[in-house]
Chain A
């Protein structure tokens, strides 16, 4: 007789295994690209999201496949969690023809509209009205889709984010604004750039709810996102989720240094709150993530990421003619 399916917070065990796997996939993908950047195999720069995996997995993991996300410069995790293939993403970071963006976008603009990812934008905060627009389209057409917009504690101070929050509120758009508060906008502490103690309180000024969420706690992120999505789909409008988290590494591969603005003690303290370790313990205790699965998942993902690197390495560069394609849709 088969054991009864375990559930946690209303989700079946398989779903938790899937969300945990997404976190492992993000962690290993990000950890793998750092040495590849140093080796010069990945060109340009990248903004690793190690330490913030629970936000990406917890938010995107409970979306429908046709829900949109709009991401930002630190977007690998969001894209992986929304369903992008790691081989195509890795090939994009290698600037190869087989990349998700044909080698023409790179880390900061990685996107896949087939997965309803309206890309990553390198202009901080600029995705907020684009997310609102996708939500407006969904509302006007009655598709039932919701849209998630990711930005950070830096992005939340952009005027266009205020404008988008206001428009989402007056039009009751199905948007979830997810502010990943990792405490620093590059080197600038959020607490020095915002007089509010909680960024989530911004939402009150626009007339919709805002909640602070423990961003390293997968279960907390899932619960908050599900509630926000329910509101969105019920036509009750936007929600702001301020997910408190921490990026383990520097702002980008170009600026890996953190010592000028962060204390080592603080960094170690946050490493103690590793979202993966926390999920392993919590999900394990709840009986939805058996201990033997953890090592199995990590091994399988490691193989996937190495395959992705091999795929990227052996993929061809774009043809020179690619310079001229895709500037305009044919007319």
Chain B
């Protein structure tokens, strides 16, 4: 084991994959000299040169489009579009109409092995256009893979899996987690896409979450434990495909389920998880499945308003308390 931040773990993953596979290259806004907006490619320009660590114009749609074309022609591009997920709004045609559908429309010929990395989330006082969590947009599209890692080990291990995956992967990091440290296995540390991690065992209620909120659920579980409520905490890690079996197995044991995410509650991942639990495990439930998500508003600038817009530990505790 060695200790890295999430940003360092991503950088290590990129470096190792580029060393292992000459088809892998980075492309995006400011990925070179400054090593990426969030310093996730620091030192890679010096190591691999400007051909494989390729700065681009501010042309997000074309960045993803070039990745698609390069991938179809045999490369394994990893791209960044200004760092923030909000800029991926400009790439939706390329992601949704092109990358996600190419193989299907072409009758199974071809593949689009691209990784589109972006940072999500609030907490850094950057207001409405730099703080969103948009995983539900991408998860709604058959043909895309959507990954949301939380720990340094997952960030590296799932990034490796994403780069090796033959499909378009939207890899959504969290800007509040980049500087969080954690153990990373020595060696490759490859993780599997589509497998949840059980962060805590419990018997009374299952908390389903991912990324920043997975940590907040563990904090909530500590407080709830003091009140005698035993929480099982699942970190989905991958949104599409998501680990239905792990969630259903846990709910069959605890008989209660709360889904927590930072994205707005309406029409979100939580609705998908909750509906699936009710469809597949209704008889095992002792209470309705509850969702905790951001309020239905853009992220405000003011620090207090921002903090209160997304789920807090208190809101998670309160939601669980109402169930028990």
B61 contacts A134, C-beta separation under 8 Å? no
Name which residue of chain B comes closest to A149, CB basis.
B69
The answer to whether A123 has its CB under 8 Å from any CB of chain B is yes
A129 CB to nearest chain B CB (Å) = 2
Chain A residue numbers with a CB within 8 Å of B66 are 129-130, 132-133, 136, 164, 167
The answer for the CA separation of A104 and B108 in the assembled complex, in Å, is: 9
In the complex, how many residues of chain A place their beta carbon closer than 8 angstroms to a beta carbon of chain B?
49
The answer to whether A208 has its CB under 8 Å from any CB of chain B is no
Chain B residue numbers with a CB within 8 Å of A326 are 103-104, 106-108
Beyond the given A118-B72, A327-B104, A328-B103, please list 8 additional residue pairs across the A-B interface where CB-CB is below 8 A.
A102-B107, A118-B69, A126-B97, A133-B65, A133-B68, A136-B69, A329-B113, A331-B165
- Which of B63, B70, B142 is in CB contact (< 8 Å) with A137? B70
A170 contacts B69, C-beta separation under 8 Å? no
Chain B residue numbers with a CB within 8 Å of A164 are 62, 65-66
Chain B residue numbers with a CB within 8 Å of A113 are 72, 106, 109-110
A232 CB to nearest chain B CB (Å) = 15
| Total number of residue pairs linking A and B with CB closer than 8 Å | 153
Name which residue of chain B comes closest to A120, CB basis.
B105
In the complex, how many residues of chain B place their beta carbon closer than 8 angstroms to a beta carbon of chain A?
44
Given A129-B94, A141-B74, A167-B56, is A101 in contact with B69 using a C-beta cutoff of 8 Å? Answer: no
Given A105-B106, A159-B61, is A68 in contact with B73 using a C-beta cutoff of 8 Å? Answer: yes
B70 contacts A101, C-beta separation under 8 Å? no
Name which residue of chain A comes closest to B101, CB basis.
A109
B160 CB to nearest chain A CB (Å) = 13
The answer for the CA separation of A99 and B77 in the assembled complex, in Å, is: 31
B93 CB to nearest chain A CB (Å) = 6
B57 contacts A163, C-beta separation under 8 Å? yes
B96 CB to nearest chain A CB (Å) = 10
The answer for the CA separation of A92 and B82 in the assembled complex, in Å, is: 40
The answer for the CA separation of A122 and B52 in the assembled complex, in Å, is: 31
Chain A residue numbers with a CB within 8 Å of B25 are 140
B69 contacts A130, C-beta separation under 8 Å? yes
Chain A positions 122 through 148: 1 when the CB is less than 8 Å from some CB of chain B, otherwise 0: 110010111111111110110001010
Name which residue of chain A comes closest to B108, CB basis.
A326
A133 contacts B67, C-beta separation under 8 Å? yes
Name which residue of chain B comes closest to A170, CB basis.
B57
A138 CB to nearest chain B CB (Å) = 7
Chain B residue numbers with a CB within 8 Å of A135 are 69
- 13 A-B residue pairs with CB within 8 Å: A68-B73, A105-B106, A109-B105, A109-B106, A114-B109, A123-B93, A123-B97, A128-B62, A129-B65, A132-B66, A140-B75, A327-B143, A329-B111
Chain A residue numbers with a CB within 8 Å of B107 are 99-105, 326
Complex interface residues of chain B between 264 and 323 (CB less than 8 A to chain A): none
Chain B residue numbers with a CB within 8 Å of A166 are 57, 59, 62
B76 CB to nearest chain A CB (Å) = 10
The answer for the CA separation of A118 and B99 in the assembled complex, in Å, is: 12
The answer to whether B245 has its CB under 8 Å from any CB of chain A is no
A207 CB to nearest chain B CB (Å) = 13
The answer for the CA separation of A324 and B65 in the assembled complex, in Å, is: 26
Given A70-B69, A129-B66, is A119 in contact with B61 using a C-beta cutoff of 8 Å? Answer: no
A-B interface, 9 closest residue pairs, ranked by CB to CB distance from nearest: A133-B69, A129-B65, A102-B107, A163-B62, A137-B73, A163-B59, A329-B166, A133-B66, A101-B107
The answer to whether B51 has its CB under 8 Å from any CB of chain A is yes
Name which residue of chain A comes closest to B142, CB basis.
A327
Name which residue of chain B comes closest to A175, CB basis.
B69
- Which of B62, B105, B110, B111 is in CB contact (< 8 Å) with A129? B62
